[in-house]
Structure 1
Amino acid sequence: MTTHTAMPNHKVHEGRNIKRFREMLGIKQDALAFDLNMSQQAVSLLEQKETIDTPLLQKISALLKIPVEAIQNFDEEQAINIIANTVNTVNDNATGQVFQINPTINTSEKWMEALEEIKRLNEDKIALYERMLKEKDDMMAKYEQLMNNR
């Protein structure tokens, strides 16, 4: 099995990784911006930065419910190489090839399951927020009606 080390001149782009995880989780820039108390344009600029200040990175990772290390260490090029090398030919004979699946695939599946769970939780959070906004609107309408009846 081939092992891969990071390329010496290749740096992980933290902003791009934030964007990738955000998109995988189905979170819009506006929603992340709201949670970070900044504008959508600021989030867009943040996603273009190669490195992010640690306190902000920690806040973003907490909001996305993923480890800081995932943002700091995810390297798409390396991930593609690892995935490409998870299927190794064990035996090539007249009956055909026998493949061995590396357990790395299980790790990817676990990541995808975790990301799907986070996405579901975020959808629940959005639904709750929308219900709260509707209740606020209903209360405001009742208040306005009471004020008009005076």
Structure 2
Amino acid sequence: MKTEEAVINSKVHHGRNIRRTRMEKNINQDVLSEKVSMSQPTVSRYETMKVIDDEILERFAKALNVPMDYLKTLEEDAPSVVFETNTVNNNADTISTSGSGYVNENNTNYNPVDKISELYERLLKEKDEKYIALERRVQLLEDRINGK
């Protein structure tokens, strides 16, 4: 089965993937058209196409700073992902990161590491509370056995 036929029979829509990524990065069609050396109406037309050639997809991927496979394989109902890019500023010897993790279905950014840390802290607190409750029960049972 050809790649084009596979895309036609799937939930993948190259143009919508380009548009979705462009919008997630807050880039308008005019800016993107400059980055890919096309007119704005041409970019708009590509955003409506279900199947786009690899050469053109590669241009959009580079302009949007995402892997080409992301644009080529992302299914329509997949969760949003924000790609982080690291840049080094030689003058100040600092590293800055753009992007802030992932975007959930409510279009709010969150960092998965922060979420995992938050959940871990909550689990530790619950474990400690259960441990204290069990110690109290054991003490009560020992007191009953010893007749106190």
Structure with bigger gyration radius? 2
Considering fraction of residues, name the structure with more helix.
Answer: 1
| Structure with greater contact order relative to length (CA < 8 Å, sep ≥ 6) | 1
